[in-house]
Amino acid sequence: MIRVFSINVVLSLFAMVSLAQTPASTTADHPGNHGMFIVGEDNLFVIHMPMFTNGMHMYQMALRVSLPAEQTSRYQALRQANPQKAFNLINIGNNRFTLPEVKSRSVTQFAATIFDGYSNEGGGTPGAVLWDNVPVTIEDVVVFRHFNFSIESPENLNYVIFGSGDEAFMIHYMARDPSFQHIMALGAVPDWLSADQLLGGVTVELQGMPSGQIGCASPLLADTYLVNFEGRSDLSETLDLTGALTIWYSTGNLLNASDPCSQ
């Protein structure tokens, strides 16, 4: 039987349980379950599903990871056949951890259930289970930042570009509620980034793209944009999005206190 899990079971439930177990006065994270999207082929990356509404998930995070050989080859075949599918994983119930433990390298491996896609329908629903109890090894922490509620959203849209080899990905830099999570696979690595910059991740500001306009689909409709490297107007480059694919776009899934795109 194909198993499909509702977001109310997979995300809302563990979010509510975690909040109930966490004293209101503490700033320390408690271990939990974390949904993440999987991207890449030759090199695999997972991208955390953040929430402005739950302390343990108030993080924007991207990790370079590896899976066992069997799951890697099977995933690569699925990714090649479905380049835009939002493959997803969640660490299993008895293997909870905090995201600061990942950053500090206290946690370098965890067991996960991997799902055949993810949908915004029904408030967010993982697809069928592909594999249970798969060991995921964290090779590198590429992006890690806690939301800072004293810092306003930037004037223009900012995105973080990262990847490895000839694969590059771009995720929207989220700052304040309301916002959106946007994950893209670029058609080519920007030629103005070095291999090490790509591995480490860089932030670019999109000129003339105000951040305050929250839509219900990707705001990036042009083939090219002028961007400021790390917000520096003296380092402007052309970002070519020809052949880029949106793997995930959402304003829901408990990211915001209220989903501006809910019906």
For position 27, what pLDDT does the model report? 86
For position 262, what pLDDT does the model report? 84
pLDDT at 86 over 80: yes
Closest by Cα among 38, 72, 33, 74 to 54? 33
For position 12, what pLDDT does the model report? 45
210 near 197, Cβ under 8 Å?
no
> What does the pLDDT average to over 205-222?
95
For residues 6 and 35, the model is more confident at 35
12 near 254, Cβ under 8 Å?
yes
> What does the pLDDT average to over 207-216?
94
pLDDT at 21 over 80: no
Residue 1's pLDDT band, with cuts at 50, 70 and 90, is very low
For position 4, what pLDDT does the model report? 53
- Residue 16 has phi, psi (to 5 degrees) of -70, -40
pLDDT at 25 over 70: no
pLDDT at 140 over 90: yes
As a whole number of angstroms, the distance between CA 195 and CA 178 comes to: 33
For position 24, what pLDDT does the model report? 46
As a whole number of angstroms, the distance between CA 250 and CA 15 comes to: 18
> What does the pLDDT average to over 91-120?
97
Closest by Cα among 147, 156, 174, 170 to 211? 156
pLDDT at 143 over 50: yes
End-to-end CA distance of the chain: 31
pLDDT at 118 over 70: yes
Q: Which two tokens stand for residue 71?
A: 């799951």
For position 3, what pLDDT does the model report? 56
Q: What is the DSSP letter of 193?
A: S
For position 122, what pLDDT does the model report? 77
Residue 244's pLDDT band, with cuts at 50, 70 and 90, is very high
Q: What is the mean pLDDT of the chain?
A: 91
> What does the pLDDT average to over 6-21?
44
For position 124, what pLDDT does the model report? 85
For position 263, what pLDDT does the model report? 54
Q: Which two tokens stand for residue 25?
A: 């006065």
For residues 168 and 26, the model is more confident at 168
